[in-house]
Amino acid sequence: MDDLISVIVPVYNVEDYLEKSLSSLLIQTYRKLQVIIIDDGSTDNSGEICDYYGANDGRIEVYHIQNAGVSNARNQGLNYAKGKYIYFFDPDDSLEPDALWTLYKQIKNGADLVECSYFKDFTNVKEEVIHPEKKISSQEAIRSLLLWDGYLTSFCWDKLYNKEKIGDIRFDSKLKIGEDNLFVFEYLLKCESVIVLDCPLYNYLIRENSAIGNVYTEKKKDSVRAAGTIYEICSKRSMMHYEAKIHVGLASFFSYANLLNTVPYEKIKEFKSDCKFYIDSMKVCSCGLLWKLVGIKMTILYKTAQYIPFLYKASGFIRRKSR
């Protein structure tokens, strides 16, 4: 354990989860850690909890800043990071005890990025999300990310990064959702190889009021904006043009489907405006392109939502009833 790992923890109003989360971090079998906690202007007792842990473990550094969002907090953490490797940790989740040790061993095997499998933690039950273990090229990883196939995820917290590779990459603080997707993409552009592990090492807590929960919010348009930035980068680099189109289209489809499934619509004017935003964005993908890259089932769902939204909504009800 010769190398320092800087763990960046953005904290905002998570007093109910913070002690469990930080405890899971501090009992890691990999001990050489710099734990950077950025208290993003919390108004509950989160700041005091952070200070308590900071006073009792010399590896912890606590910084209190004015609230400016999770991306800014992570960026502040990157500015303080001294480690050779970087890990991002969300303060309502938890780690398996050997998580960082396992990721560290793999990144030392010559990869630029290591991603683990994870648990979806629904409080009362856990669901494993397992990826087949293998080493892939950065091109394979980027293609997986663009096609939303779930193998190379858009999350930032299931990965160990090389700080030197990160360089001047930062999270886009204008984005409320999708900022991690863009960060991972930009990092992959600097990589040669990626290792994906089949062992679940991270416990991802599913909260009803989380940013990517089932209830639609206008913030979800940011996921489309992030995908649009990725498309622009791909166009400038003349790479994966069709996959980047799919990326924009599916980001639009997923958020639009979430909007259609959220009732009641309290603000009809905003509802219609958001519908138009997603439908216009979905036009980037033709039937042929969808069919070729994501299959017939997704093509049918996509085009039904785009052109016959009431039928898509009705079919969703039928699908849920049949489960």
Residues 16 and 74 occupy one common structural domain: yes
- Domain holding 11, by residue range, is 5-205
Q: What is the CATH number of the domain that holds 66?
A: 3.90.550.10
Q: Are strands 113-121 and 60-65 parallel, antiparallel or unpaired?
A: unpaired
Tens place of pLDDT for every residue, the chain, 323 residues? 689 999 999 999 999 999 999 999 999 999 999 999 999 999 999 999 999 999 999 999 999 999 999 999 999 999 999 999 999 999 999 999 999 999 999 999 989 999 999 999 998 899 999 999 999 999 999 999 999 999 999 999 999 999 999 999 999 999 999 999 999 999 999 999 999 999 999 999 987 655 445 678 899 999 999 999 999 999 999 999 999 999 999 999 999 999 998 866 678 889 999 999 999 999 999 999 999 999 999 999 999 999 999 899 887 654 554 44
> Quick one: 120 and 182 in the same domain?
yes
188 and 249 share a domain? no
226 and 94 within one domain: no
213 part of a folded domain: no
CA dihedral 228, 232, 235, 240 (to 10 degrees): -40
Cα end-to-end span (Å), the chain: 48
- Report angle CA 150, 154, 158 to the nearest 5 degrees: 90
Do residues 109 and 156 lie in contact, with contact meaning Cβ atoms separated by under 8 Å? no
Residue 249 sits in the same domain as residue 272 = yes
Residue 44 located in a structural domain: yes
Please tell me whether residues 178 and 51 are part of one structural domain. yes
DSSP for 77-120 reads HHHH--SSEEEE--TT-EE-TTHHHHHHHHHTTT-SEEEEEEEE
Sign of the dihedral through C-alpha 24, 28, 31, 34: negative
Kindly state whether residue 211 falls inside one of the protein's structural domains: no
Does a structural domain hold residue 100?
yes
